Amino acid sequence: MLKLKEYSTKPPEGADKTRLKAETKQYAKRIGALKDQLVAEGKHSLLVIFQGMDASGKDGAVKKVFRYCTHNNISVYSFKKPTEEEMRHDFLWRVHQQTPGKGEVKIFNRSHYEEVLIQRVHGWITEEEVDLRFDSINMFEKTLAYDANTLILKFYLHLSYEQQEV
């Protein structure tokens, strides 16, 4: 089992902040151009998932990475506590409603993984239910990838509390 506390949250040794900022700007411009091409073609969609603890930089990452994207056909959705209506459905019901259509980019600030992580941490579901939910998530993502031509990119932002303050 993967244990995040075993992984360093510090930048790689020798990382040049100025150079990395310049490279990020160039990549962000390229993402903007590719996003416009995806919209114009209308055959595929993109789902970008940012996961991480509170204050890990998800909002900042979204702003920096997608700052050169025009606002058409791109949106950000943040999953909050499920509503009463959402609780009356399966745990992926609300997620499916937020997935991108062809020619669209959707960014999840937090994600459907929360429906396993939070439930597990609080002991609200059994390990068997955890396994079933992970299986459901895998099938859900395969459906998006193969039936809906959706490219799914997942990023976990792993920052320590000390690094968050920097």
Q: How far apart are CA 106 and CA 113, in angstroms?
A: 16
Backbone angles phi, psi at 121, to 5 degrees: -60, -40
- Read off the pLDDT of residues 95-154 as tens digits, 9 standing for 90 and up: 999 999 999 999 999 888 888 888 888 888 999 999 999 999 999 999 999 999 999 999
The closest of 113, 121, 103, 95 to 35, measured between CA atoms, is: 103
* Non-local CB neighbours of 19 within 8 Å, separated by 6+ positions: none
> Under a CB-based contact definition with an 8 Å cutoff, are residues 109 and 62 in contact?
yes
Q: How far apart are CA 146 and CA 23, in angstroms?
A: 32
For Cα atoms 29, 76, 61, give the angle at the middle one, nearest 5 degrees: 50
Half-sphere exposure of 121 (CA within 13 A, CB side): 6
Identity (one letter) of the amino acid at 155?
Answer: F
> For residues 152 and 3, which has the higher predicted lDDT (pLDDT)?
152
Q: Any idea how long the chain is?
A: 166
- Read off the pLDDT of residues 52-87 as tens digits, 9 standing for 90 and up: 887 778 888 899 889 999 888 999 999 888 899 998
What pLDDT is recorded for position 165? Answer: 64
Q: How far apart are CA 129 and CA 84, in angstroms?
A: 21
Q: Which helix (H) or strand (E) holds 80?
A: none
Q: How far apart are CA 18 and CA 39, in angstroms?
A: 32
SS3 content of the chain, % helix, strand, coil (to 5): 45, 15, 40
What pLDDT is recorded for position 114? Answer: 84
**DSSP-assigned states of every residue in 46-70:** EEEEEEESTTSSHHHHHHHHTTTS-
Residue 28 has pLDDT above 70, yes or no: yes
Hey, is 105 helix, strand or coil? strand
18 band by pLDDT with thresholds 50, 70 and 90: very high
> For residues 128 and 163, which has the higher predicted lDDT (pLDDT)?
128
